[in-house]
């Protein structure tokens, strides 16, 4: 695997992802591999399953079939917050998933991605909220 600035690049891969909603298959056997630092686009018409693929990779929903890997570790069953701690995140075009959260909870959601103990996240949260006042 290529290296950049002395650090190995991360790789996210998916093998044979499938997902159905109410009996309608929206993702049909998708496999892909993405290397850290790459810029990629996922193109297709409305209803093609693009958002569902992203949702499965970040852990917002589970595939009915298939596996997701970060480097060589299978993460298919990992909850979203544990994937975030490993560096997997997704900024949707529309921020509606965070609208119901308070400012504090929105900031905490981002702080969950840092390798900090709970006390460190709380301290950093307090610092950031102070800046917003």
pTM comes to 0.67
> Residues 33-66: pLDDT tens digits?
999 888 888 898 998 999 999 999 999 999 999 9
For the sheet containing 11-21, what is the strand order?
24-35, 11-21, 65-70, 73-74
Among candidate residues 100, 124, 93, 99, the one with its CA nearest the CA of residue 110: 124
> Residues 59-103: pLDDT tens digits?
999 999 999 999 999 999 999 889 988 888 776 666 665 677 788
Domains of the chain, by residue range, sit at: 1-78, 91-133
Helices (H), the chain: 50-58, 80-85, 103-111, 118-132
- Tell me whether strands 3-4 and 24-35 are parallel, antiparallel or unpaired: unpaired
CATH of domain 1-78: 3.40.50.300
> Residues 104-121: pLDDT tens digits?
888 888 888 788 898 998
The 10 Å CB-count burial string (b at 16+, else e) for 85-98 is: eeebeeeeeeeeee
């Amino acid at each position: 695997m290529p290296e950049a600035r002395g650090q190995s690049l991360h790789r996210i891969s998916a093998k044979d992802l499938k997902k159905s909603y109410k009996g309608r298959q929206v993702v049909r056997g998708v496999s892909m591999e993405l290397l850290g630092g790459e810029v990629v686009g996922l193109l297709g018409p409305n209803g093609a399953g693009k958002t569902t693929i992203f949702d499965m990779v970040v852990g917002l929903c589970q595939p009915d079939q298939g596996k997701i890997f970060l480097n060589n570790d299978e993460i298919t069953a990992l909850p979203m917050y544990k994937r975030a701690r490993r560096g997997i995140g997704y900024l949707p075009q529309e921020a509606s998933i965070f609208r119901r959260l308070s400012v504090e909870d929105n900031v905490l959601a981002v702080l969950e991605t840092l390798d900090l103990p709970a006390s460190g996240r709380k301290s950093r949260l307090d610092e950031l909220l102070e800046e917003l006042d």
